[in-house]
Amino acid sequence: MTLYQRWIHRLEHKLTLRDPHRRIFPFDWGLEWVKNSHNPGETDPLTYLKRYAQEALGDSTAFFNPPPLQDCAIEDDVLTMATPTPSPHRENNTVYCRLFRARRSEAAVIVVPQWNADPQSHVRLCQIFKRFGITALRLCLPYHEQRLPAQMQRADYMVSPNIGRTLHATRQAVLEVRQLVAWLREQGYKQIAVMGTSVGSCVTYLAFVHDPSICTGVFNHVSSLFADVIWTGLSTRYIRWGLEGNISLADLRECWAPISPWFFIDRLKKCSRPHLLITAKYDLTFRPELTEKVLHQYQIHDIPYQRVVLPCGHYTTARFPFKYLDGWHMCRYLIRQLSPDS
C-alpha cells in the first residue's frame, strides 16, 4: 500500500466517524413491507423473502413499473407528488423535488444524491446544469430531509437491518425516478438523463435499465450486489452489525437481489444508450473488487460505456479537490450528451 493510499484510507475512516448520530438498529425481517399480511405457519420469513425476491427478479419490468402520478404540484420551484408506494410514515409519503428550470430547454436530468444527503447536496451541480441549458430535477430520497420521520435524525429507514423495509424504500425511490421521467416527458422534454451518487447511483441505474426512454446516465460510484456493499462497506458497518448473527451474507444477497444492479446488467446487452461509470480507486464502501465485477460483466456482454476513475475514496469524493474533479467529469459528460448537436 502506498503512502498516498494510506492517507486516503485514514481520511475515509476519519470522515465516517464525524456523524455522532449513527446507531445500530435491531434486525427485522420486515415482512409487512413486502406483503399485506403474513401467516407465520405458512413458511419461515427467510424462505418467503427469497421467494419474493425471485418473483421480483422474474418480472422486474412489472416490479419497477410505476403507476400514474398523483397529487402533482409545483410551488416556488419545488415539485411535490404522492409517492407510488406509501409507507406507514406520513412524512415519507410526499415526494419533494427541487426544480432548476433552464430556459428554452429540451433536455433534463434527474439528480439523486447519496444516502443521508443534506438539503444542499448536489444543488451546486444542478445550478451548473441549469446554466448550461439543462433543466435539473433534484429528488429527495425516501426518509431524507422533509421526508424524515419526526423521531429520526438520520435516513436510517432507507437502508437498515430491516430486510423488507430496505427493499420497499429502494424500490420506492426507483419508482419515483421513473414517475419523474414521465412528468418531464409530459412537460415537453425530449432528452432525459439520470445522475446518481452512491445509493442514488444504485437507484438511478435500476431506473435506467428498466426505462428505455432515459437517454443517458451518470452513475457516481458503482457496485454490483447491494448486500455486499452493506456487508463490506466502511460507511455501512453499523448496518452489518445489526444483521450479523441473524442472516448470512449469502442469504442476504438473495433477499436483496431485486435492488442489486448486478442482476440487471444483461438488460443492457443490446443497449445503445451511452452512460458514464465513475469509480473511486480507494473506495472503502463501494469496494473496487465489487466494481470490477460489474466491469467484467460489461466486457462479457460487450456493453459500451465510459469510465472515469477518481484518485480518492467514497467520502473523500465530496472533499476538496476531488469534488471539483468529480463534478467536472459529470457536467462535461452530460453537457456533451444532452447538447442539441449530440
Question: Is 105 within the bounds of a domain?
Answer: yes
Question: Is 186 within the bounds of a domain?
Answer: yes
Give, rounded to a whole angstrom, the gap between the first and last alpha carbons of the chain.
42
Which of helix, strand or coil describes residue 323? helix
Q: pLDDT: is 243 or 103 the higher one?
A: 243
Q: What is the pLDDT of residue 339?
A: 79
Question: Is 230 within the bounds of a domain?
Answer: yes
pLDDT band at 36 (very low <50, low <70, confident <90, very high): low
* Rounded to 5°, angle at Cα 180 from 89 and 285: 70
Q: What is the pLDDT of residue 162?
A: 98
Question: Is 34 within the bounds of a domain?
Answer: no
Residue 282 CB neighbour total at 10 angstroms: 22
pLDDT band at 272 (very low <50, low <70, confident <90, very high): confident
pLDDT in tens, 49-70: 999 999 999 999 999 999 999 8
Taking the alpha carbons of 196, 199, 204, 208 in that order, is the dihedral positive or negative?
positive
DSSP-assigned states of every residue in 30-52: -GGGTSS---TTT--HHHHHHHH
Question: Is 272 within the bounds of a domain?
Answer: yes
The reported pTM is: 0.96
Q: pLDDT: is 240 or 40 the higher one?
A: 240
72 touches 79 (CB < 8 A): yes
Question: What DSSP element (H or E) covers 217?
Answer: strand 216-220
Q: In what side-by-side order are the strands of the sheet with 73-75? A: 73-75, 78-82, 94-100, 135-139, 107-112, 191-197, 216-220, 275-280, 306-310
CATH number at residue 255: 3.40.50.1820
Structural domain count of the chain: 1
* Rounded to 5°, angle at Cα 315 from 216 and 142: 60
Which of helix, strand or coil describes residue 155? coil
DSSP annotation of 26: P
Which of helix, strand or coil describes residue 241? helix
pLDDT band at 340 (very low <50, low <70, confident <90, very high): low
Question: Is 29 within the bounds of a domain?
Answer: no
- Cα distances from 331 to residues 24, 208, 328, in angstroms, run 37, 18, 5
Q: What is the pLDDT of residue 35?
A: 77
Question: Is 333 within the bounds of a domain?
Answer: yes
State the Rg of the chain over Cα: 19
**Separation of alpha carbons 306 and 323, rounded Å:** 19
* pLDDT reading at 341 higher than 80: no
The domain of 201 spans 3-20+47-338
* pLDDT reading at 243 higher than 80: yes
Residue with cell 445489526: 242
* pLDDT reading at 38 higher than 70: no
Residue 147 CB neighbour total at 10 angstroms: 23
Question: Is 262 within the bounds of a domain?
Answer: yes
